[in-house]
Amino acid sequence: MDEQSLGIIPDEIKGWNWGAFMFNITWGFGNRSYLPLLCLIPLFNIVWIFVCGFKGNEWAWQKGDYEDIKTFLAVQRTWNRAGLVAFIIAIIVIVLYFVFFAAVMSMLINGRYY
């Protein structure tokens, strides 16, 4: 029996997973891990997305049928890269939104909207 069938989580597997954090439900289906579906529960999802990020690799390892740790890490590296890019884009959009909102409010308060 190998580590995966015994449910043992190798140390190389443990760690943050940006894909599970940002794409939790899609990532869950892609990795045959359905606990991320709990992100559909309003308010609870605010906490659960962080749980998905922390536990994602472990869940994927337990549910997956990977030949070895190297193959697993290669698959999750793709998810991590996509999740990190999505996170950075989301932060940029949020910052731009607040800058735009502040500019509009400033124009309205100061009466310079012509």
pLDDT digits (tens, 9 = 90+) for 50-94: 999 999 999 999 998 888 999 999 999 999 999 999 999 999 999
Residue written as token pair 């579906």: 37
Query: What was the pLDDT predicted at 58?
Result: 95
Q: Positive or negative, the Cα torsion across 47, 51, 56, 61?
A: negative
Does the pLDDT at position 113 exceed 80? no
Q: What is the pLDDT, as a whole number, of residue 65?
A: 85
Predicted pLDDT of residue 5: 58
How far is Cα 58 from Cα 15, in angstroms, rounded to an integer? 8
What mean pLDDT comes out for the span 12-25? 95
User: What pTM value is reported for the model?
Assistant: 0.82
Query: Among residues 42, 60, 41, which one has the least CA distance to residue 52?
Result: 60
